[in-house]
Amino acid sequence: MLKIVQGGADFNGHQHQIDLATCVNAMGPPISSIDVAQSLEHHRQLLVHPFHATDAFLESYARFLGVEAQSLVAGRGITELIHSVIQVYGRENTGFVTPDYTDFNLLLDKQNIAAICAPERERALNALAKVKQAVILSNPCNPTGVAIEASRLRALCLNNPSTMFVVDESYVEFTAEPAKWSMLGSELHNVIVLRSPTKCFGMGGIRVGAAWTREPATRKTLASHITKWPLSTFDSHYACAALERQQWKSETTQKLLVHAAAMEEVLCQLGFDVISNSPTHFRFVLHPHPAAIFDQLRQHGIFVRTKTAEEGVQGFRVTAPTCLDHLPTLERALQEVSCAG
């Protein structure tokens, strides 16, 4: 029996299913990563401890990001780095604005500040920064796709110099202009940027990520909360091989953006309340009955990610299909959903 994980994701290999719930680049991973994973030389390297795995990944990722390797702290994906940030600043001293990444809701105290559109989120973040030592956000936002320009975030940081702004940029590599939205390389000392190549390279099954900050003392403190040998040899080699395929990443994410725009047009034509103008590859649809939508679409072999009012926004997130041929199937299913609703 097919096990539904996280509202529909993670059922690779099952035929006749269209996974629009996953946020990972479903066109991946690049073949080069698979070749590395299957190499005999790599298998021999698995015999020893991962003495050089972290350094190798940081060197490779630093080249990809255009920063210095020593400005990065490695972790087992962004999730471990989020845990480390919360350990540093304390659960009670770290805040976020809903809706946002699921783990924020799980790891931090329930927030009463909700904001969806970018101007509202800016105002809410500014208010939160007045009473918290650290403010954490995903930008572009998961699940809504709403993004705040880097220049606007910079102004927030300048306005709250004693508050650390921790920006999860998991989806910035899916945008057409990453530099427009990214705080990476900022001259400010109250910024931590969390990045990972796993989503944009379609390799969510490995756990690699990095925190960037200009402040050496902050890096040292973060690193002290990361366990010894944070990355395995397998994860490091796999990620390094993928990072050499920057053109592949650019071509596939550009396709997903085209597909996302076409999908948004279909959703709007059918009368769905879409949060538009997202620069990334997914869209969020505001809807009063997301569970019913999920069940009805599942009958058509289509899976989406649902959110409830308790999480700050009610509706479903739908990711651009990897193939435009899937759009007619999605449109027919949504038409039936509209008629049923």
Q: Which amino acid is at 187?
A: E
Prediction pTM value? 0.93
What is the per-residue DSSP string for 105-133?
A: HHHSPPP--B--SHHHHHHHHHHHHTT-S
Packed helices 246-269 and 327-340: angle between N→C axes, nearest 10 degrees? 30
pLDDT of residue 8: 45
Half-sphere exposure of 253 (CA within 13 A, CB side): 23
pLDDT of residue 40: 56
Residue 318 pLDDT exceeds 70: yes
pLDDT of residue 195: 99
- pLDDT confidence tier of residue 99, bands split at 50, 70 and 90: very high
Considering all CA atoms of the chain, what is the largest pairwise distance in Å, rounded to the nearest integer? 60
Encode pLDDT of 5-51 as tens digits. Answer: 444 444 554 556 899 999 999 999 998 787 877 775 667 778 888 99
- pLDDT confidence tier of residue 336, bands split at 50, 70 and 90: confident
Architecture, CATH, for domain 31-243: 3-Layer(aba) Sandwich (3.40)
pLDDT of residue 15: 57
Q: Which residue has the higher pLDDT, 11 or 68?
A: 68
Please determine, looking at this structure, whether the domain spanning 18-29+247-340 carries the CATH number 3.40.50.1820.
Answer: no
Encode pLDDT of 148-190 as tens digits. Answer: 999 999 999 999 999 999 999 999 999 999 999 999 999 999 9
Encode pLDDT of 80-96 as tens digits. Answer: 999 999 999 999 999 99
pLDDT of residue 341: 59
pLDDT of residue 48: 84
Report whether 210 contacts 78 (CB < 8 A).
no
Tell which residue, 305, 294, 279, has the closest CA to residue 334. Answer: 294
pLDDT of residue 148: 98
pLDDT of residue 340: 63
Domain ranges in the chain?
Answer: 18-29+247-340, 31-243
